[in-house]
Structure formats: C-alpha cells, structure tokens
Structure 1
C-alpha cells in the first residue's frame, strides 16, 4: 500500500477502534499493512481492488493460549 493509504487507515483505525492502534507498511509486501497495539502485532489489513472498487479487510488471528 502507498504511504498515504497507510496514513488514512491508521487514522481510521485509531478513530474507530482504539487510539493506540498503529498501521505500518509491511517490509516485503505492497498490498497490505500490519496492525499493532503498542508493540504487539494484531493482524494484517489487506487492500482489495477487484472490480474497480477498493475495500480493506482486516484479518486477526486469536490463539487459544491468548484466551486464558
């Protein structure tokens, strides 16, 4: 994703979910970004631009050990 997309997504995630969330560019991928809460990695946000419409999908895995 482009830096301006990352910036917009970062602002959106902070505004709607948690002001401590951070969206960062992925080192070797240009179609997605990484979402962090502080130093903790939460998931990946993907850009989907099929059919000319752009949308973003946030994917977060929750491990069973984290539920305890």
Structure 2
C-alpha cells in the first residue's frame, strides 16, 4: 500500500480525530491531486495535513498543523 491513506482509513481517521479533539466540524479530505497530502480541515478551512507511515508493518499517522501568524489573536 502507498503512504497515502485509503478511503476507508480517511473515514476512520476523521471519526478518531473528531472524537479525540472534540470537534464535529473537523473533516479529513482526500488529496486534491495524486501525490499530494491528505488535508485536515475545520469548518471547510484547511488547517494541516496528515501523513501515513508504514514502518515494518506498523502504521502510524502524523498530523502537521499549519497556523498563520495573521490568524493569531493580537498581542496584548
């Protein structure tokens, strides 16, 4: 299997991340094009990517969150 999650894995990841992060508005979206990363979004806004790793049969997923400074609250 490639290092991209299958459609079944994407669904399972979405269920697990929604439960873990307490966010029903979270979605895990398939890559927009072949060779791209699976996207993690909240209410339709992409906030990061998910990468699948298959190390000697042990599968894990790494979530990379992307926060732009412009999205942070103003400094006090």
Q: How far is 1:28 from its partner? A: 2.2
Q: What is the aligned length?
A: 68
Distance in 2 between residues matched to 1:62 and 1:31, nearest whole Å: 19
Question: Is there any run of 5+ residues in structure 1 with no aligned partner, and where?
Answer: none
Computed over aligned residues only, the root mean square deviation of the Cα atoms, in angstroms, reads 1.6
TM-score (norm 2): 0.78
Instruction: Establish whether residue 34 from structure 1 lines up as the match of residue 39 from structure 2.
Output: yes
For 1:43-63, what per-residue CA distance to the aligned partner results, in whole angstroms no more than 9, with x for missing partners?
001101122210000001211
Runs of 4+ with deviation above 2 angstroms: 27-32
TM-score (norm 1): 0.86
Structure number with greater Rg is 2
